[in-house]
Amino acid sequence: QNGATGSRLLSGNHIVYQDAENYIAKFHQSESALLFNSGYDANVGFFSAVPQRNDVILFDELAHASIRDGIQLSNAKSYKFQHNDLEDLERIIQNLNSKSQDLTTIYIVTESVFSMDGDTPNLEELVTLSNKYNCYLVVDEAHALGVFGDPEISGGEGLVQMLGLQDEVFARIMTFGKGLGCHGAAILGSQKLIDYLVNFARSFIYTTGLSPHSVATILVAYQHLQT
């Protein structure tokens, strides 16, 4: 009873998983949430599975190694842009659009708080830029959870929610080993995205799930954060 016993798609699922994912999705004002064993697993699973061949991933040059590793496993093309430099990012997008006659799906990837420097991108302008060029924005909030948020709710939901941009971001990655003081991670997004990840994210499918105790720890940590 203390172990997951296997992959969540086989024997490793547990009712507490559903309770935790529902709570996390509601807390973060997201349609759905999917738990992963770590932030590394979440980023590798997302970027290796979601962007397709002929898609393009544009990532901040200081993005975490797990993001880079996931991108390397992807069939999509990728280019880095200068750190928090939205003018450089826009130049790359314009250059890509001028070279391609077909509509290219572009993913823009950044972090809300960069771990080594503690700085943040201008997320409002980044959302505007993403909407202007029909890009999909992905934000890693590993170092914002428990630090930034809306004081009306709890004050710890992350920078995206503090700015009221949660409906403008395609996917958010929340990890629990920093501000939340436990272990694991979750990807937040639409139900369609989560259903896709359950079926195609290899770091989700082919690993033993978190134990019920670990998932319960995540749920209790979120409940504590909310109060």
Give 78-100 pLDDT, tens digit per residue: 999 999 999 999 999 999 988 87
Q: Which residues pair with 36 in a beta bridge?
A: 185
pLDDT band for position 103 (50/70/90)? Answer: low
Which residue matches tokens 């559903």?
18
**Nearest to 48, CA basis, from 80, 73, 66:** 73
Single pTM value for the model = 0.95
Burial 49-73 (b: 16+ CB within 10 A, else e): bbbeeebbbbbbebbbebbbebbee
Please write the tens of the pLDDT for every residue from 31-81.
Answer: 999 999 999 999 999 999 999 999 999 999 999 999 999 999 999 999 999
DSSP 212: H
